[in-house]
């Protein structure tokens, strides 16, 4: 669509985005798909956090996402505020084959709503959609039975094997789409089901976030406040110590995302 024509390329707005969620739900894989359009079947756990960037072209503006991909392991939890502080956007990821990961996602959302920037745009992403699509269930078309179950709210965690490493195809869905969607609506979140493996839904997350970001507000803050509130102004105000910085990824020449 719109070519970032008429010299508007340098009007790129920097948007700080943080990914949060339980370990092994696929945060790094979602980012890798978005930034490099790649997938690694045996991606190693993130230590601390990783930093990557990607551009996203809107009709009249180019956004430059500065992405903090946090580590989901519990021992890193206390670092999270340093990454979501001043973030304009957050993607909270869970694994649709693991019910407990939605509970963890909800607690991240609560924490963000209490402690992050009040205008933060939050998206909830149910990842590993490919695992349930390759089994018998119909993609995106839940049976009426599961609607009834959704009334009972919490899907029973427990018995079903959880292929959190992505090793077994055909894992069981533990989080009904409509349950997560209902929660997202109630909490005021964007909602997606995604697969970092196939790429389904990944670009949509970042495109829809981009549309909701109050760009004019950020630009005004950047101009008026000398890059103040976490908008532009160098590397994410308060880059935490000990962060694993994957700048190499950021240095690869990249066109705008598919937005």
Q: What contacts 58, CB < 8 A, 6 or more positions away? A: 2, 210, 211, 215, 259
Residues 39-58 that bind ligand GTP (CB under 6 A): 40-43, 45-46
Instruction: Give the nearest distance from C-beta 76 to Mg ion in angstroms.
Output: 10
**Contact residue for ligand GTP among 13, 25, 89, 231 (CB under 6 A):** 25
39/183 with CB nearer ligand GTP: 39
Answer whether 27's CB lies under 8 Å from 72's CB: yes
Question: Candidates 71-79, 175-183, 204-212, 240-248 — which segment interacts with ligand GTP by CB under 6 A?
Answer: 71-79
Based on the shown chain and the rule CB under 5 A, indicate whether residue 249 belongs to the binding site for Mg ion.
no
Answer whether 96's CB lies under 8 Å from 132's CB: yes
**Would you give the distance in Å from CA 123 to the centre of its chain?**
6
Based on the shown chain and the rule CB under 6 A, indicate whether residue 165 belongs to the binding site for ligand GTP.
yes
43/106 with CB nearer ligand GTP: 43
Instruction: Give the nearest distance from C-beta 27 to Mg ion in angstroms.
Output: 5
Residues 200-259 that bind ligand GTP (CB under 6 A): none
Q: Give the β-pairing of 62-70 and 89-95.
A: unpaired
Instruction: Give the nearest distance from C-beta 195 to ligand GTP in angstroms.
Output: 4
Residues 20-79 that bind Mg ion (CB under 5 A): 27-28, 46
Instruction: Give the nearest distance from C-beta 256 to ligand GTP in angstroms.
Output: 23
Q: Within 13 Å of residue 58, how many CA atoms lie on the same side as its CB?
A: 19
45/214 with CB nearer ligand GTP: 45
Q: Tell the residue number behind the tokens 């908008």, with chain if given.
A: 231
50/120 with CB nearer ligand GTP: 50
What is the DSSP annotation of 152-220? T-S---SSS---TTS-STTPPP-S-HHHHHHHHHHHT-EEEE--TTT-TTHHHHHHHHHHHS-HHHHHH
Instruction: Give the nearest distance from C-beta 25 to Mg ion in angstroms.
Output: 9
Instruction: Give the nearest distance from C-beta 182 to Mg ion in angstroms.
Output: 28
Helix (H) or strand (E) holding 113, with range, is helix 99-115
Answer whether 53's CB lies under 8 Å from 122's CB: no
By a kind-dependent CB cut-off of 5 to 8 A, residue 236 interacts, out of Mg ion, ligand GTP, none, with none
Based on the shown chain and the rule CB under 5 A, indicate whether residue 101 belongs to the binding site for Mg ion.
no
Where along the sequence are the contacts to Mg ion (CB under 5 A)?
27-28, 46
């Amino acid at each position: 669509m719109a070519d970032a024509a008429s010299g508007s390329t340098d009007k790129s707005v920097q948007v700080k985005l943080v990914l949060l969620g339980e370990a092994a739900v696929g945060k790094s894989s979602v980012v890798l798909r978005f930034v490099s359009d790649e997938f690694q079947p045996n991606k190693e756990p993130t230590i601390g956090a990783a930093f990557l960037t990607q551009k996203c072209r809107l009709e009249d503006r180019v956004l430059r996402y500065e992405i903090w991909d946090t580590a989901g392991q519990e021992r890193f939890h206390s670092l999270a505020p340093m990454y979501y502080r001043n973030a304009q956007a957050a993607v909270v990821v869970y694994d649709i084959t693991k019910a407990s990961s939605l509970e963890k996602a909800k607690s991240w959302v609560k924490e963000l709503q209490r402690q992050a920037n009040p205008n933060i745009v939050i998206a909830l992403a149910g990842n590993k959609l490919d695992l349930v699509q390759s089994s018998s269930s119909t993609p995106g078309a839940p049976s009426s039975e599961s609607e009834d179950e959704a009334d009972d709210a919490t899907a029973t965690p427990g018995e079903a094997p959880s292929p959190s490493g992505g090793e077994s195809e055909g894992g069981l869905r533990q989080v009904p789409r409509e349950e997560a969607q209902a929660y997202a609506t109630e909490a005021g979140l964007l909602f997606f089901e995604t697969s970092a493996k196939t790429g389904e839904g990944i670009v949509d997350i970042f495109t829809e976030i981009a549309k909701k970001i109050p760009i004019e507000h950020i630009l005004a803050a950047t101009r008026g406040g000398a890059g103040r509130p976490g908008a532009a102004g160098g590397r994410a105000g308060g880059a935490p110590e000990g962060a694993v910085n994957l700048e190499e990824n950021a240095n690869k020449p990249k066109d705008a995302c598919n937005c």
